[in-house]
Amino acid sequence: MKSYKHVLFDLDGTLTDPAEGITKCIAYALESKGIQTADLNSLKSLIGPPLKDSFMHTFGFEENEAITCVDKYRERFSTVGLYENILFDRVPELLEQLKSRDYHIYLATSKPEIFAKKILSHFAIDQYFDFAGGSALDDSRPTKTSVIQYVMENTGLADPQNCIMIGDRKHDLIGARETGMDAIGVLYGYGSRTELEQESPTYLLHSVADLIEFFE
C-alpha cells in the first residue's frame, strides 16, 4: 500500500447514514411539484450525487425547476432533516485511529458546507477534521471534483499522490481520479458494487471495520 498522509472523506453514505432525512426532504420537495412518494426507499438512490442533477436526470425537470426543488428541499433539511441521520458504527474509532497515526483528515462532500459542518458538530466528530469542505449554496461547486479541488486549494494539498479519497458513490471515485488521487470505494453506503467497480477504484472495501484494518 502506498504511504498516504491525507485522507478525504465523503459524508453521506460514508461517515453517516442520512437516509431518513434526505428521503423525507426529497419527498417534501417533490410534493411541492405535485409528485407523491409512496415509498421513501425508492429515493435512496438519490443519496450522494448533487441534488440539482438528480432532480433533472431522475424526474426530468428543467434546470430552473430543479433549482426550485433544491430550495424546497433545503427548507426542510436546514431545520429538521439535518438531524434525521446516524453515524455508521465505528466511525469515531476510525477517525480517532487516523488522528492518532498523524493522518490529516478532510471532508469533501456534495452537501452544502454549512450543513455538513453542523452535522459533524452534531455528532461531535468535527474535532478530527483539519478542514471540512462542501458544495456552495450558490451552486459554484457543483461537482465532487470541484469540491475536492476546493479542499486542496484551501489546505495547500499540492501533491495528490499523498492523498486518498473515501466514498460510496461513483462521483467520489470520479472526483478522485480527476484530481489525481487514489480512491477507496466503500460498499456499505448507497453505491452498488457495479457502480463502484465501473470507476475502477484503487481499493474496494466492505465495511468501516475494513477501513480501520486498512489504515493499521
Q: Kindly list the catalytic residues.
A: 10
Separation between Cα atoms, residue 86 and residue 52, nearest integer Å? 24
- Looking at residue 196, the DSSP 8-state letter turns out to be H
Q: DSSP of 68-119, one letter per residue?
A: HHHHHHHHHHTTTGGGS-EEPTTHHHHHHHHHHTT-EEEEEEEEEHHHHHHH
Contact 37, 27 (CB under 8 A): yes
Nearest CA among 10, 20, 50, 45 for reference residue 211: 10
Please tell me the total number of residues recorded for the chain in this structure.
216
- Looking at residue 142, the DSSP 8-state letter turns out to be -
Separation between Cα atoms, residue 173 and residue 181, nearest integer Å? 9
